[in-house]
């Protein structure tokens, strides 16, 4: 009686190779239609998606130039202290302006005589109020016997040897501006049609996310066609689990990986003294590669369960070969990421945990008849 039941159970799931191909063709076609519909929806949100994917890059660039501004100010302030010259701000004050108020600054040099002349020209009343406390450079010029300019003061012409003395008479000023408005923190486009292509690709990303539930449903429908009737109920559980793992992987890349990876890569620019000038198309490729790589790789527990179901591996093999599996995980992480230490670790460590989670999944959902431990790997 048991044999008859087993034969009937097998007979219900028997499909020829051609039928499997036909089922695969239909699943792929339906998944493609869902992706097309999702991309049509994504065209409406393409602009918002472009702005969203630029947030990590612009934030990393703003932090890069903020740290560079503080370092330059510390060097400049130290030089002025060595010359017994006053500094406008202490280092902690500059850090507060840059980090808390998100202001970037540049040190520019102006001719105090020209500035004084402009004050007199624009509003003579200001000139009267400031006459009691003229700029030190203007006072020094007056004490040296130069006459006060009435209209404009022109720097004396000279050869290269006289330039240091001219610069010595210039006054350094700190010019602040909001960091978000700095041109250096924005990605660049180098062709007229490039942004249109970026918009289309961003819409494709939105379409992929919107249609992912339908695509995963078609994938698991194809898998269910080869399962026993009592196992097909697991598809309803695996579908949201698979979708959740994909979205979790993509969110991990966006929320936790981009910032440290960008900071690590930009640190090389700082050490070499080369300012970055990122191109938006190159950044978009980076944005697409990392979340998709994370999303696909986070399917590891379900892949392990599938391989265990079809008899390729079993629980004992997974546990005995875990060291090899961890090594393979790190190698795959190095291939799917820019190969910097942060992105490799941020992908490899969760995948290692998911590997052992896949073992637990196989143990709690064993194959019928105890087949999960039937296979013993060869030594």
Query: pLDDT for 252-288, tens place per residue?
Result: 888 888 888 888 888 888 778 788 888 888 787 777 7
Residue whose C-alpha is closest to residue 41's, from 198, 197, 204, 212: 204
SS3 173: strand
* Tally of CB atoms within 10 A around 324: 9
Summary mean pLDDT of the chain: 76
* Tally of CB atoms within 10 A around 267: 12
Percent of the chain with pLDDT over 70: 76
Residue whose C-alpha is closest to residue 371's, from 326, 305, 311: 311
* Top-confidence residue, 142 or 199: 199
- Give one DSSP letter per residue of 242-253, joined into a string: HHHHHHHHHHHI
| Claim: this prediction has a pTM higher than 0.75 | no
List the alpha helices (DSSP H) in the chain: 2-13, 17-42, 46-82, 91-95, 112-122, 124-130, 136-143, 163-168, 194-224, 233-252, 258-272, 280-297, 300-309, 315-320, 322-336, 341-364
Look at residue 27 and tell me whether its pLDDT is greater than 50.
yes
What mean pLDDT do residues 315-336 have?
90
Look at residue 354 and tell me whether its pLDDT is greater than 80.
yes
What mean pLDDT do residues 48-72 have?
87
Binned at pLDDT 50, 70 and 90, residue 142 comes out as very low
Q: Name the region of 339 (left: φ>0; alpha: ψ -120 to 50; beta: rest).
A: left
Lowest mean pLDDT among 80-89, 151-160, 183-192, 273-282: 151-160
Query: 237-257 burial by CB neighbour count: b if 16+ within 10 A, else e?
Result: ebbebbbebbbebbebbbeeb
Percent of the chain with pLDDT over 90: 7
Output the 3-class SS for 278-317. Answer: CEHHHHHHHHHHHHHHHHHHCCHHHHHHHHHHCCCCCHHH
Q: Are 45 and 52 in contact, with CB atoms under 8 Å apart?
A: no
């Amino acid at each position: 009686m048991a044999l008859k039941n087993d034969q009937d159970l097998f007979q219900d799931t028997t499909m020829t190779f051609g039928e499997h191909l036909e089922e695969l063709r239909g699943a792929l076609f339906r998944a493609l239609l869902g992706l097309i519909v999702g991309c049509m929806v994504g065209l409406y949100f393409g602009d918002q998606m472009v702005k969203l994917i630029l947030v990590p890059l612009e934030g990393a660039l703003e932090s890069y130039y903020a740290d560079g501004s503080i370092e330059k100010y510390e060097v400049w302030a130290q030089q002025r202290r060595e010359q017994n010259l006053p500094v406008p701000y202490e280092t902690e004050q500059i850090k507060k302006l840059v980090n808390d108020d998100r202001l970037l600054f540049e040190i520019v040099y102006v001719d105090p005589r020209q500035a004084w002349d402009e004050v007199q020209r624009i509003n003579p009343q200001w000139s009267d109020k400031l006459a009691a406390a003229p700029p030190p450079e203007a006072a020094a010029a007056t004490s040296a016997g130069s006459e006060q300019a009435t209209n404009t003061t022109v720097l004396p012409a000279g050869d290269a040897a006289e330039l240091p003395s001219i610069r010595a008479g210039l006054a350094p000023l700190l010019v602040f501006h909001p960091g978000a408005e700095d041109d250096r923190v924005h990605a660049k486009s180098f062709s007229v049609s490039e942004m249109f292509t970026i918009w289309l690709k961003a819409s494709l990303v939105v379409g992929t996310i919107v249609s992912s539930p339908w695509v995963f449903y078609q994938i698991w429908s194809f898998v269910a066609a080869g399962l026993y009737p009592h196992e097909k109920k697991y598809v309803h559980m695996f579908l949201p689990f698979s979708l959740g793992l994909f979205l979790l992987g993509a969110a991990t890349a966006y929320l936790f990986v981009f910032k440290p990876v960008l900071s690590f890569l930009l640190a090389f620019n700082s050490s070499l003294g080369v300012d970055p000038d990122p191109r938006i198309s190159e950044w978009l490729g980076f944005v697409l590669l990392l979340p998709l790589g994370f999303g696909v790789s986070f399917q590891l527990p379900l892949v392990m369960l599938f391989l265990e179901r079809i008899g390729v591996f079993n629980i004992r093999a997974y546990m005995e070969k875990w060291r090899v599996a961890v090594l393979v995980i790190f190698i795959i992480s190095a291939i799917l990421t820019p190969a910097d230490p942060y992105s490799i670790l941020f992908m490899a460590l969760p995948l290692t945990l998911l590997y052992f989670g896949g073992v637990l999944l196989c143990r709690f959902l064993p194959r019928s008849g105890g087949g999960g431990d039937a296979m013993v790997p060869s030594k």
